[in-house]
Structure 1
Amino acid sequence: MALRSICVFCGARPGHDPAHAAAAVTLGRTLAEQGIRLVYGGGAVGLMGIVADAALAAGGEVIGIIPQSLEHSEIGHSGLTRLEVVDGMHARKARMAELSDAFIALPGGLGTLEELFEVWTWGQLGYHQKPLGLLEVNDFFGKLCIFLDHLVSEGFVRSEHRAMLQSSNSAEALLLQLQDWQPTAAAKWAGQRQP
């Protein structure tokens, strides 16, 4: 699958580990060097600002989507290729998904996880067939992945749907995984008795 545009979910804070910022720089630069447009939440702070600045510095195209209510508190990035201001968080996520061929999560907090899980759920339900990935930084997502595997073993998530989420500690390797990913044919409710 050709990836022309990737949405990156990440923190509006840089985190304590300098490796988080370094990974954001590498990802932003790699996307630009491969001619892949970056779509993200539009902030100028934290990992959001770092990944955007790295892509811009490498000559990449960057589109930010930010709710009007957060434009000032998240300090909307004024140097982007395009900054779209939308009505709210739901509109933000829908627009980011609309503009993107794939999704990558860098380290972040509740908002990052919420965005990742919502777009993953949309894929599980068949609303899109776009790949998702975690850019692993010093085992940041390690315990989360263990828990996701636990959900499979407990029968709450199908293994095919768990496999929708790729993971790598290399931006280049993760992009290759996302390009090679094939959508699952398993329906969410396959094999279950309907009420």
Structure 2
Amino acid sequence: MFTGIIEALGKVTKISKDNTNLHFTITAPFTQELKVDQSVAHNGCCLTVVDIQEDQYTVTAVKETLEITNLGSLQAGDWVNLERCMILNSRLDGHIVQGHVDQVGELISIKDENGSHLLTFRYDEKLFTTVNKGSVTVNGISLTVVNSKRGEFSVAVIPYTWEHTNLHTLKIGDHINLEFDIIGKYVAKLMQP
């Protein structure tokens, strides 16, 4: 379980293929605090630490994960948003995030709002939906929806989040990982005939 509050940016230093799996080696400021078998969210996708060597650790993404996330398009040198799993005796600053990506969306607009950035994303509304002022996770970042339409939504990003996550590296057309609000998903499931 995660909160969507990004702890650090990690740098992908190596990617190796193993059958249909990809092993990602990441350099992160908190590597020394990790242990093998620990969960870490990478662009919002929960992956298990399988190896630690000095200031780098390795995680494995299986075929199913690679098919529904943007992790398969990562290259060595790319930055990923990182969050370790939440501690139950601390504040929940973001929202409840499972680290289970629902689908990949596409960045269709970036607008500099002179103090913030308004990002608009397109997604498959047949699978999930957003609501104004609802929560959504974009590349693992807990954000508030400010403009919800069929198949697209916008978020307003404060300068701190812009500078301390990989949002500032995105370009129009880039794919991002989306995890929709868990409560909204259960309500939608209950409403289906």
- Higher relative helix content: 1
TM over 0.5: no
- Higher relative strand content: 2
TM-score bracket relative to the smaller structure:
under 0.3
TM-score by length of structure 2 reads 0.25
